[in-house]
Amino acid sequence: MLTRLYRITLLFLISVPAYSQNTNNITLLQPNQVNDSCIKIANKLSSVTFNECISLELMPSQHQSNNKNNLLIKEYPPLLNKRQPQARILMLGGIHGDEYSSVTIMFKWMKILDKYHSGLFHWKVAPLVNPDGLLQKKSQRINASGVDLNRNFPNNGSPQASLEYWKDRAYSDPRRYPGPSPLSEPETQWIVKLIKDFKPDAIVSVHAPYGIVDYDGPPSPPSRLGHLYLKLLGTYPGSLGNYAGLQEEIPVVTIELPYAGIMPSNHEVSRIWVDMIKWLRVNIPQPPKAKTALQ
Ligand SMILES: [Zn+2]
């Protein structure tokens, strides 16, 4: 007998075309690449099934990690003949490969977007920025070259700052190695290109396990998302918050889930999402621009 979940998944698979409307310029080979990625991700994450992954119709970004894993992306574009999106939002998971919940929650939120994308925002979602870190036999924070991607972003005019900080303040901790120079890694090169091309009005980046909300850049941060309360941790040279939030002045919401290996309850996953949408709706782009866009 079919379980309810299986029947829903089956119905969903049947009801969704094999390729999305955004695949015009994608070669036939590429869905196989996504297949391979979904097999690897589902084998690694107990909370993401292969069917769940494949039904989301993620696309290869044309960029790969050091270990030639596909860097996957999903776009929720403006809806034709509907309202203009209020803002462009970039959402990133799994910059640190051992923070499993930060990847799984991307898949849960993409499922929500698949069902309810209303055109309010134009989204791009990169659920797994550091596939090499996650897909190691023992998942690791750093990428395949031993670089902490969240220390490998550009430093305004000070390319040595990340290395100096790492030696002096992080005591050369190998888990926080910023790489030989900013943007030495294909994964960070991809994210910076994505930021420059897509020009997001806000970035949401998910980590674990501090159980708080951190924030960099203008305007004022959310005080709470779900049960996660605002706590400003400060930025590090080479971090995404430092690069995008402070240097590029793009609001960066960093969500730190409470556990790397345990997902929040389904209720909490929804609450964080709803609170985040409410905050984005009021604050992004910054008023009074937002007011104009909403009319
Ligand atoms: Zn992290």
- Residues near 264 by Cβ (< 8 Å), separated by ≥ 6? 101, 105, 226, 227, 257, 258, 272
**CA–centroid distance, residue 159 to ligand 1 (Å):** 22
The answer to whether 124 and 92 are in contact (CB under 8 A) is no
**CA–centroid distance, residue 6 to ligand 1 (Å):** 33
The answer to whether 41 and 97 are in contact (CB under 8 A) is no
CATH match for 62-294 among 2.40.50.150, 1.10.1040.10, 3.40.630.10, 3.40.30.10: 3.40.630.10
Global pTM value: 0.87
**CA–centroid distance, residue 178 to ligand 1 (Å):** 14
Q: What pairs with residue 88 in β-bridges?
A: 122
**CA–centroid distance, residue 102 to ligand 1 (Å):** 8
Task: With CA atoms as reference, report the closest residue to 113 among 84, 61, 80, 76.
Answer: 76
The two beta strands, 212-216 and 228-230, are: parallel
Give the pLDDT score at 80: 82
Q: What is the pLDDT of residues 95-106, one digit of tens each?
A: 999 999 999 999
Other CB atoms within 10 Å distance of the CB of residue 14 = 7
H or E element at residue 205: strand 202-207
**CA–centroid distance, residue 36 to ligand 1 (Å):** 25
**CA–centroid distance, residue 257 to ligand 1 (Å):** 10
Cis (ω within 30 of 0) for the bond into 264?
no
Cis (ω within 30 of 0) for the bond into 288?
yes
- Name the stretches of the chain with pLDDT < 70: 1-31, 286-295
Give the pLDDT score at 287: 55
**CA–centroid distance, residue 93 to ligand 1 (Å):** 9
What b/e readout covers 129-148, taking b as 16+ CB neighbours within 10 angstroms? Answer: bbbbbbbbeebbbbbbbebb
**CA–centroid distance, residue 256 to ligand 1 (Å):** 8
Collapsing DSSP to helix, strand or coil, 12 comes out as: helix
**CA–centroid distance, residue 237 to ligand 1 (Å):** 15
**CA–centroid distance, residue 75 to ligand 1 (Å):** 23
Residues 71, 197: Cα–Cα separation, whole Å? 16
Structure-token match 């396990």, residue found = 209
Token pair for residue 104? 């799984």
Task: With CA atoms as reference, report the closest residue to 20 among 113, 128, 131.
Answer: 113
Collapsing DSSP to helix, strand or coil, 204 comes out as: strand
**CA–centroid distance, residue 163 to ligand 1 (Å):** 19
The two beta strands, 224-225 and 202-207, are: unpaired
Give the pLDDT score at 12: 33
**CA–centroid distance, residue 95 to ligand 1 (Å):** 7
**CA–centroid distance, residue 10 to ligand 1 (Å):** 34
The answer to whether 155 and 238 are in contact (CB under 8 A) is yes
Residues 238, 15: Cα–Cα separation, whole Å? 44
Give the pLDDT score at 156: 82
Structure-token match 């890694």, residue found = 185
**CA–centroid distance, residue 96 to ligand 1 (Å):** 5
Other CB atoms within 10 Å distance of the CB of residue 195 = 19
